[in-house]
Chain A
Amino acid sequence: MIETVRRVVRWFESPRLATWLLVFVGAWSVVATAVPQGDTVAAWASVHPFIEAVVRMLDLHHAFSAPLFRVVVFMLAVSTALCASKRTKVAFHRARALRGAQDQDRDSLISAHNLEIVCAVGRGSTEAVAEADAALRRLGIKTKRRGDVLSAVSPWWTVWGSPVFHWGLVALIAVVLMGSLQRSEGMMGVPVGQSVPDQPGSYGVLHTGPLHSWSRVHHNIRVDDLVTDFRTGKIDRGPTPIVSVLDADGRVVKKQPIYPNNPLQAGSLTIHPAAFGFAVNVSLLSGDGAVYNRTTKLVDISEVAPEGTAPLGALTVSDREGQPAERVVVTVPLRQEGGNLVVPQERQAHLVVTTVDGKPVADRVLNTGESIALPSGGMFRIDSIGYYARLTVVHDWSIPLLYAAMAVAMAGLTLTVVVRQQAVLVTVAEGPDGSLRLYASLRFWRNVPTNRAEIETELTRVLGAGQKEDDS
């Protein structure tokens, strides 16, 4: 059993597997951008019937939530975690080696060197050290003098870039996964001046993660105003709602204008503007003129609708027995001006009343305060026509952690890319035969402007009568 686990771990640790997993994710992503994503793919499918069969089999129309893709990403995450763990061990070893090199004295260097050059006759040790120093500097290695030892040893932390980067990626994948399980994201329409509870019933469109809980959400969202030409400095931010978040007791927790790049953030809640439209407040009156129901109908601005607006659903009116009798559809006609549709100063409501089975009953344009009699008895009155804001509301506690994981990964990568990892120690001493010899310990890992071969060649050129290499 343990042996099997070890084998699996070794397999996941394999750099070859990691490379192939990366290649798969890359290739899959390329294909995914060439295949339409989502559910509205009928037109594409009819043009590519053969490819469609393969695409459906692999669930490529939902490429980034397809089971195969998820399995590969999971494997990549495991592989990255094991790779990070392996690199952590390597970094420990290297950090220890760097600390050791920083403490290394002349005698220990002479006994544990990996390069030895016999200096030409007629040169003193001070002169030889100075020439070695100059040669190393020419190759881009700046040394410090520690007694008779030239030293260019990186600090211990320089070797931690790669593990930090890989652990950052692991954390990123974990946070994205956990965040998506608890994330909720949806759109709600809120008329200006009204507030709605932040609960599923208030949303028109809502996607929630399987572990999201609404029982801990107790606030309300209110749209205080909608400024159609909001400006900050010289920039026109477009139609901008002023939004408040209220706690369970009705106290304002946060209030601000929201526009692109300026969302409202309160804890794990983020609110963005999505669109705006009209909110038509209507009253239903009984035959004796008493109001028995008030409601708000939302109307969207639409480029394809002939009047420039489209209703968000119809209102069903019941008769005295409580049976559905009529359906009322409300729009707000826009005015033509120079080929564009603009919002008129005096807004009106266009009402189309039909029976529940679709027979036309009335088609009228009403001003605010006007009403229309319904065949089932009673009246339908337009009280006011204002705006509503459609808001994108997101609950996601993972965003700050996500940013932190990204920052850690990028910091690790920066360290990996920028900082040198080297341990260079050089000294000159008399050898067993009485000749002057250069002893060096050279260890290079990353971002070094030269290499061991170049250093050997250069030092031999400036100092050497001969070279004796010892890789002990």
Chain B
Amino acid sequence: MTIEIVLMWVALTCYVVASALFVFGVTFVREGMVRAAMFATAIGLVPQLVSLGTRWARVGHGPYIGYYEVANGLALFVVALFLVAAWRNQRLRAAGIAIMPVAVLLLGGAMLTPTSDLPLTPNLASYWLFIHVVFANLAFASFVASFGLAVAYMLRERSRSGKWAKRLEKLPAQDVVSELMTRFVLAGFLFWGIMIVSGAIWANQAWGRYWAWDPIETWSLIVWIVYAVYLHVRFTLGWGGQRLAWFAIVAMPVSLFALLGTPIVFNSVHGGYIGGVDG
């Protein structure tokens, strides 16, 4: 087992511990545990960054190719965005109860897949790859943040004066949580849009067509449409409250499927980013 993999197991352990501390800390209203969970999250990010950085230097490309690298990159952005959001607004820390398990599932899934090095194929060797992947990761991290806030919103909403209302009382007011949820969706919508645009420009450079309704392209559009519908119902039809929170909860797995599921389910010219070969 290489040092890279050992470091990644350390990161995963930290995230598992953080998730458990979030669950216990929030459930039993122990602020100390929530603080410890934040600490474990931040500590876990260090070995993950070092491991990915080492791998980047060794194989000559960032975490873009193969399930191990792609899921790893997504988990990294989810954790990093959560840390930044919770650092800027400490009242959001309790949302880690829903966000960190997503990071654990992603990184855990990555650790169960082959970790072998995959070279850049001629089609993937472009600076557009970096832009495309970074914005995909940023978008997904934003969607997970909105998902976490939506879960917290629903937990509290379902027990307005009950146990969960007390457990999550440190979170901002419900309307502020709902507003933040939408702001993360807006940010994710923007990042996902840039991801699609950069992908279209790149496809034109690599293959001579900017859009071909390939299954992965189509699913990326589906995700954008799903969140466009979210924003429409929020801003023009006045949706809010539980309906909107449910929407954010259901939409996030669609984006996860588009990123990690579609190359497995569909035969696509884009499959190279998971399989390491051009379609």
Residues of A within 8 A of B (CB): 15-16, 18-19, 22-23, 25-26, 29-30, 32-33, 37, 63-64, 185, 234-238, 259-263, 270, 272, 392, 394, 399, 402-403, 406-407, 409-410, 413-414, 416-417, 447, 451, 454
Answer whether residue B46 sits at the interface, using C-beta atoms and an 8 A cutoff.
Answer: no
Interface SS of A by simple majority: helix
Given A64-B213, A270-B208, A394-B209, A19–B120 Cβ distance below 8 Å?
no
In the assembled complex, the CB of A400 is this many whole angstroms from the nearest CB of chain B, namely 11
On chain A, the residues within 8 Å of B194 by CB distance are: 410
Q: CB within 8 Å of A: which residues of B?
A: 60, 120, 122-123, 125-126, 128, 173, 175-176, 179, 183, 186-187, 189-190, 193-194, 197, 200-202, 204-210, 213, 215, 218-219, 221-222, 225-226, 228-229, 232-233, 236-237, 262, 266
CA distance A16 to B233 in the complex (A): 8
- Do A29 and B190 touch across chains, with their CB atoms under 8 A apart? no
User: Given contacts A270-B208, A394-B208, A414-B190, is CB(A259)–CB(B122) below 8 Å?
Assistant: yes
Cβ contacts under 8 Å, B226 to chain A: 26
- Contacting residues, chain B, for A454 (C-beta < 8 A): 173, 176
User: Within the complex, what minimum Cβ distance (angstroms) separates B196 from chain A?
Assistant: 9
Q: List 28 A-B contacts (CB under 8 A).
A: A19-B229, A22-B232, A29-B218, A29-B219, A29-B221, A29-B222, A30-B222, A37-B213, A185-B208, A235-B125, A236-B122, A237-B122, A237-B125, A260-B122, A260-B206, A261-B123, A261-B126, A261-B206, A270-B208, A392-B207, A394-B209, A399-B210, A402-B210, A403-B201, A414-B190, A417-B183, A417-B187, A451-B175
Contact pick for B232, options A19, A29, A410, CB 8 Å: A19
Distance in angstroms from B194 CB to nearest chain A CB is: 6
Q: A19-B229, A64-B213 are in contact. Are A33 and B190 (CB under 8 A)?
A: no
Shortest Cβ distance from residue B223 to the other chain A in the assembled complex, whole angstroms: 9
Question: B206 to chain A: closest CB distance in Å?
Answer: 5
Cβ–Cβ contact B232 & A18, under 8 A = yes
**Contacts of B215 on A, CB cut-off 8 Å?**
33
Other than A260-B123, A261-B122, A261-B202, give 9 A-B pairs with Cβ distance below 8 A.
A15-B232, A19-B229, A33-B215, A185-B209, A237-B125, A261-B205, A399-B204, A406-B200, A454-B176
List of B residues within 8 angstroms of A413 by Cβ: 189-190, 193
Contact B125 A261 (CB under 8 A): yes
Nearest residue, chain B, Cβ from A447: B183
Given contacts A19-B229, A33-B218, A410-B194, contact A416 B186 (CB under 8 A): yes
A-B pairs with the 5 shortest C-beta distances? A15-B236, A26-B225, A272-B208, A261-B126, A260-B123
